[in-house]
Chains A and B, each alone.
Chain A
Amino acid sequence: MLRRRWVDALVVVVVVVAFVLAPQAYSNETLLFQMMVYIALSQGVNILYGFTGYLPFGYVGFFGIGAYGASLLMLHLSWPPILALLGGGAIAVLLGLLLSPLLRLSGAYFAIASLAASQAVYLIVSNPSLQNVTYGPYGIQLVSQFNPTLSYYVMVAILALTVAVVLYIRRSRFGTALQAMRDDPVSAAMAGVPVVRQRTFAWMISAAIAGVVGGAFAWQTSVFYPDAVFSLSISIFAIVFTLFGGAGTLLGPLFGTVVLYGMYNTIGISDPQYFQLIYGLLIILLVLFLPDGAASLLKRRGTHVL
């Protein structure tokens, strides 16, 4: 038990130290920041998909509403950025609560419905009739709050917290209950697991992560239009990174993001056509031979993957 706690603490420390030191070795902090964003988002997807089996194609809706929520709190109510990020997370949780009836669906139906919901949120936020509230299609300007260094270290803290939450879920009875529901919800309910409540709770944790991360992204970017924070590619990246590394584990999505986002920023930028080819091939190979992600390679050998 004690050793587990040491290992968990070590994981958080390694992640924090790696991202605190990384700018010393590589000065493109924007890239490092976005890598942290995607690691946190893929962990958010992991909580939902890896632990409950619900694949949220519209996950970007929480990210976008968090970005807008935090920005509007800073602009309209003059909240300090860190408090506004938490506000963005709270707004995402409220949205999650509002959309919780979607959890009555499952499989592809849930994936499509969540996608439609995220598009609805996008269209509401970017509606010119709400210009006085959301700035509509004109986008957000947070230039007076722009602080890339502080926002970077706040993002490190958010990432550490996200990793800690996933570790907790993985170790706790709550996580075990979620996995039982994922495998067989009827049996889990019969065994006394409050399926609806637990699943909704996981959904809201996942929403909170995306919301806070969206707020941090808005703070760091400081000038953006609605389509930048509601872009479907954000959902797709987070899902692919999770699936590549291995859903249901902590290190899988972390590994998936570092490898695939690293690839995206090397060959993906200079030679996008080759990148798309390689990306496509990787996904085909993954689906055919490693449906449980890269982590399953180790699992097959009997190695426990955290």
Chain B
Amino acid sequence: MKQLRRYLFGLAGVAALLIAGCGSTTSTTTSSTAPKDISIGTLYAGSGSYATSSLPELAGLKFWMNQVNKSGGVFVKAYNKKIPVKLVDYNDQSDANTAQTLYTQLITQNKVNILVSDFGSVLTSVAVPIAQEHKMVLFNPTGTGASFFTPNNPYIVLTGLPTSAVWPDNLAKYLLSQNFKKVAIVYAENDFDQSQDQTLTTQLKAGGVTPVYNQGVPTTTSNYDVIIHNIAQANPDAVLELGYPNNDIAFLQNLAASGQHFGFLFTIFPGQELSLLEQNVGVKTLTNTWTYPTPPLLAYNSGVNYGMTISQFNQAFQAANGSAPNFLDIAGYNTGLVIQKTLETAKSLSQLDLRAAAGKIHMFTLDGNFTINKEGAQMGETLPVGQLQASGSSLKTVIIYPSAVATGTAVH
């Protein structure tokens, strides 16, 4: 009996620990009076494979928040007044399972007004069903997986780039316009890169060009030596390496070490994180390679009708953070602008009203044209094709295609 009693106490202890260990309940009261702040909940990857991209995105969002709060807060139409913005951020350490718990934490415990997802498709994917289940609009800066945007999900807004399958449209057109007959593609096996490969191969084949080399590699690939030599054997006119920053760095480093040279070489992330690539592979290796230029390399100064121009942003961001911004800083800031415009026009803070307001936004920011379709996917922005050309001891980005936005001519 004594033993039984001991078990009972033990089990009760575990049960109590379980409930107590999970935290306490927070109040669920709502009020019709204006909240003292607008809370924005987001996640960032403080470590792990997405940290180099996620941290700048968070820095951009924080920069926007500080700018807004300096002027007394964001104007909320529903209350006809400015309300300060508060950021609640958690570190998911690049882990999708941890992110899943934390997105729920932001919604159920912190009860944030606005939910913003972490960088990229992997860390955004788990947020999509959670946001939909809790009927919260997910402001999504860079999760471009096409499958996130479906007609039956009104709770998502892609604030930055278009869906990844659309990215290579201009690239495919440019390759065909140059009469490249032998195109080699190596892509990392993930949603982001493989969808681009599919778009490219479809469009190239429609133009009569079948890639002479089209190979997927695991996203974790860090050595492209053998692949580079295999590509060289196919004697291609153009080589496209589609990966995440770590893939691009490894490919370019291996290429430089191999002594091989390709006449036309395209990688994705120099256009978004040029300084990271310069640090890791050097200016010489990047010279005359091709990429998708994004702001700040793609400088939107004229035509901007909401928020800072790119020059103003570069200056203010550098003054505030001590470093020049990259594209992801801008993506974070631009997300803030979309939220700001949404709050300025939504008739209430209800999530469906926020989504309806976001759907009606047509504005031109430092990140380009913002327009979303019915599914919440970004339709306004397009990605031109650009070349990194030598300018003294550094690189300048020249937009080559489409000709309507070209800023120079190609160097071969």
A interface vs B, CB < 8 Å? 3, 6-7, 10-11, 14, 17-19, 21-22, 25-32, 34-35, 123, 126-128, 136-139, 141, 143, 146, 148, 221-225, 227-228, 231, 233-234, 251, 254-255, 258-259, 262, 265-266, 269-270, 272, 303-304, 306
Give the chain A neighbours of B189 by CB distance below 8 A.
126-128, 136-137
Give the chain A neighbours of B90 by CB distance below 8 A.
269-270
CA distance A19 to B17 in the complex (A): 12
Give the chain B neighbours of A255 by CB distance below 8 A.
14, 17
CB<8 Å pairs between A and B, sample of 23: A3-B4, A10-B11, A11-B7, A27-B108, A28-B22, A28-B104, A28-B108, A29-B104, A34-B101, A137-B189, A137-B194, A139-B191, A221-B126, A225-B191, A227-B122, A228-B122, A251-B14, A255-B14, A258-B18, A259-B21, A265-B22, A269-B91, A304-B3
With A221-B126, A223-B125 already in contact, the answer to whether A26 and B147 are too (CB < 8 A) is no
Nearest 7 interchain pairs by C-beta = A262-B21, A30-B104, A26-B22, A228-B96, A18-B15, A137-B189, A27-B108
Once the chains bind, are A30 and B129 in contact (CB under 8 Å)?
no
Give the chain B neighbours of A233 by CB distance below 8 A.
95, 97
Interface residues of B in 129-164 (CB under 8 A from A): 129-130, 132-133, 147-148, 150, 152-153
Which among B3, B24, B129 is the interface contact of A143 at CB below 8 angstroms? Answer: B129
Which among A139, A231, A258 is the interface contact of B21 at CB below 8 angstroms? Answer: A258
CA distance A35 to B218 in the complex (A): 30
Which among A18, A28, A148, A222 is the interface contact of B109 at CB below 8 angstroms? Answer: A28
CA distance A259 to B18 in the complex (A): 8
Once the chains bind, are B147 and A18 in contact (CB under 8 Å)?
no
B17, B101, B125, B216 pick with most chain A CB within 10 angstroms: B101
Chain A, residue nearest B6 (CB) = A303
Once the chains bind, are A22 and B22 in contact (CB under 8 Å)?
yes
CA distance A141 to B191 in the complex (A): 12
With A14-B11, A258-B14, A304-B3 already in contact, the answer to whether A143 and B150 are too (CB < 8 A) is yes
Question: Closest CB-CB distance, B89 to chain A, in whole Å?
Answer: 10
CA distance A243 to B165 in the complex (A): 45
With A128-B189, A223-B126, A224-B96 already in contact, the answer to whether A6 and B4 are too (CB < 8 A) is yes
With A139-B125, A146-B133, A223-B126 already in contact, the answer to whether A31 and B97 are too (CB < 8 A) is no
Question: Closest CB-CB distance, A269 to chain B, in whole Å?
Answer: 5
Once the chains bind, are A272 and B194 in contact (CB under 8 Å)?
no
Once the chains bind, are A31 and B19 in contact (CB under 8 Å)?
no
Question: Closest CB-CB distance, A136 to chain B, in whole Å?
Answer: 7
Which among A34, A143, A258, A270 is the interface contact of B17 at CB below 8 angstroms? Answer: A258
Once the chains bind, are B122 and A225 in contact (CB under 8 Å)?
yes
Question: Closest CB-CB distance, A24 to chain B, in whole Å?
Answer: 9
Give the chain B neighbours of A306 by CB distance below 8 A.
7
Give the chain B neighbours of A128 by CB distance below 8 A.
189, 194, 216
Question: Closest CB-CB distance, A170 to chain B, in whole Å?
Answer: 14
Q: Does more than half of chain A's interface fall in helix, strand or loop, or is it mixed?
A: helix
Question: Closest CB-CB distance, B377 to chain A, in whole Å?
Answer: 15
Chain B, residue nearest A254 (CB) = B14
Once the chains bind, are A7 and B101 in contact (CB under 8 Å)?
no
Chain B, residue nearest A25 (CB) = B19
B12, B92, B98, B152 pick with most chain A CB within 10 angstroms: B98
Question: Closest CB-CB distance, B99 to chain A, in whole Å?
Answer: 9
Question: Closest CB-CB distance, A162 to chain B, in whole Å?
Answer: 15
Once the chains bind, are A272 and B91 in contact (CB under 8 Å)?
yes
Give the chain A neighbours of B4 by CB distance below 8 A.
3, 6-7
Is B10 an interface position by the 8 A CB rule? yes
Once the chains bind, are B216 and A269 in contact (CB under 8 Å)?
no
Is B128 an interface position by the 8 A CB rule? yes
With A146-B129, A304-B3 already in contact, the answer to whether A34 and B97 are too (CB < 8 A) is yes
CA distance A136 to B132 in the complex (A): 25
Given contacts A28-B104, A136-B194, 14 further A-B pairs with CB under 8 A are: A7-B7, A10-B7, A17-B15, A28-B101, A28-B105, A31-B22, A31-B104, A136-B189, A137-B190, A137-B219, A143-B150, A223-B147, A269-B102, A270-B91
Is B299 an interface position by the 8 A CB rule? no
Is B25 an interface position by the 8 A CB rule? yes
Give the chain A neighbours of B92 by CB distance below 8 A.
269
Give the chain B neighbours of A21 by CB distance below 8 A.
19
Which among A26, A137, A266 is the interface contact of B25 at CB below 8 angstroms? Answer: A26
Contact flags B184-228 to A (C-beta < 8 A → 1, else 0): 000001110011000000000000000000001011000000000
With A28-B101, A28-B109, A32-B22 already in contact, the answer to whether A223 and B15 are too (CB < 8 A) is no
Once the chains bind, are A22 and B126 in contact (CB under 8 Å)?
no
Give the chain B neighbours of A28 by CB distance below 8 A.
22-23, 101, 104-105, 108-109
Which among A10, A221, A254 is the interface contact of B100 at CB below 8 angstroms? Answer: A221
Is B301 an interface position by the 8 A CB rule? no
Is B46 an interface position by the 8 A CB rule? yes
Interface residues of B in 8-34 (CB under 8 A from A): 8, 10-12, 14-15, 17-19, 21-25
Is B235 an interface position by the 8 A CB rule? no
Once the chains bind, are B128 and A272 in contact (CB under 8 Å)?
no
Once the chains bind, are B7 and A138 in contact (CB under 8 Å)?
no
CA distance A255 to B190 in the complex (A): 37
Once the chains bind, are A234 and B97 in contact (CB under 8 Å)?
yes
Give the chain A neighbours of B147 by CB distance below 8 A.
138-139, 141, 223
Once the chains bind, are B104 and A272 in contact (CB under 8 Å)?
no
Question: Closest CB-CB distance, B246 to chain A, in whole Å?
Answer: 14
Give the chain A neighbours of B6 by CB distance below 8 A.
303
Is B93 an interface position by the 8 A CB rule? yes
Give the chain B neighbours of A251 by CB distance below 8 A.
10, 14
Give the chain B neighbours of A18 by CB distance below 8 A.
14-15, 18-19
Give the chain A neighbours of B46 by CB distance below 8 A.
272
CA distance A19 to B15 in the complex (A): 9
Give the chain B neighbours of A141 by CB distance below 8 A.
147
Is B321 an interface position by the 8 A CB rule? no
Once the chains bind, are B191 and A138 in contact (CB under 8 Å)?
yes
CA distance A40 to B194 in the complex (A): 35
Is B47 an interface position by the 8 A CB rule? yes
Give the chain A neighbours of B152 by CB distance below 8 A.
143
Give the chain B neighbours of A262 by CB distance below 8 A.
17, 21-22
Question: Closest CB-CB distance, B321 to chain A, in whole Å?
Answer: 21
Question: Closest CB-CB distance, A125 to chain B, in whole Å?
Answer: 11
CA distance A265 to B90 in the complex (A): 11
